Amino acid sequence: MIEFKQVQKQYPNGLLALKNINLQIKQGEYVAIIGLSGAGKSTLLRCINRMHDITAGSLTVDNVEISTLKGNGIRQLRRNIGMIFQSFNLVTRISVINNVLVSFVPQMPLWRKILGIFTEQEKKQALMALDKVGILDKAYIRVDQLSGGQQQRVALARTLAQDPQIILADEPVASLDPLTANQVMEDFKRINQELSMTVIMNIHHVELALDYATRVIGIHDGEIVYDGRSKDITDEILEQIYQGSIDKGGNTADVSEAVTN
């Protein structure tokens, strides 16, 4: 379980990005965090794996206060929490399987890191991860020969190979076309259901959040203004979150569009 208690995050420039966040997320939930750009979505997500440190309150993962972790403790935390970015963070000039095998590097002895040697078990885990996201047939193709959606699936497979308990996804479909975005969201949904893996993502696409996530957290100006089931979202709730407009990565629309479409 992930638990925020009176969490605040203030940046050195004085910006208060998170204000008194109280939140519990249980193992196996599929949570979408929505809100305007600059509302605090990415900050909240990145506090969970200590990419950002909180400045007040308490944040625990599996009853461990993560602000007290150091060195190996932080590395183990991040080993249990997979992170997926909008930009994929892949090495495009090497093969798909080699990109997935990168997930094992932090735990490898120095001599294997230097020589680039992976065990048969690691290779098997990498192939199994690719199979879970439906691109096993692309294992030995260079990443730069794949579509954007396939590259995001490689990033997801790399995360699955490390066998995390939690997946954090930071705008994972923002750069994808609508059809591909739905396919990737379906991958997240299947992994969440089949593996009981916690999935927490921040996302601009409100329609996708409502279609795929079971729980939605709405943030406005660093504060949680909605936390509940996606199917209970109404126009009035979206109005609270977006103050009259929905940010779809640069486009503005009436709040009713996300509910009625």
CATH number, domain containing residue 85: 3.40.50.300
Q: Residue 19 domain-assigned?
A: no
pLDDT tens for residues 73-122? 998 898 899 999 888 889 889 999 999 998 888 778 888 888 888 999 99
> Residue 20 burial (CB < 10 Å; 0-12/13-18/19+)?
middle
Q: What is the DSSP letter of 115?
A: H
Could you tell me if residue 235 is inside a domain? yes
Considering Cα of 135, then 136, then 141, then 143, what sign does the dihedral take?
positive
Instruction: Please check whether residue 55 lies inside any domain of the structure.
Output: no
**225, 218 contact by CB (below 8 A):** yes
Which range marks the domain in which residue 120 is found?
29-42+70-260
Is 252 part of a structural domain of the chain? yes
**Is 141 part of any domain?**
yes
pTM: 0.85
- What mean pLDDT, rounded, does the chain reach? 89
* Helix/strand/coil percent split, the chain, to 5: 45, 25, 35
pLDDT by residue (tens digit) across 154-200? 999 999 998 899 999 999 998 889 998 999 999 999 999 998 999 99
119 inside domain = yes
Q: Is residue 12 part of a domain?
A: no
CA atoms within 13 A on the CB side of 199: 30
Query: Would you say residue 3 lies in a domain?
Result: no
Could you identify the residue written with the tokens 């249980």?
26
Total number of domains constituting the chain: 1
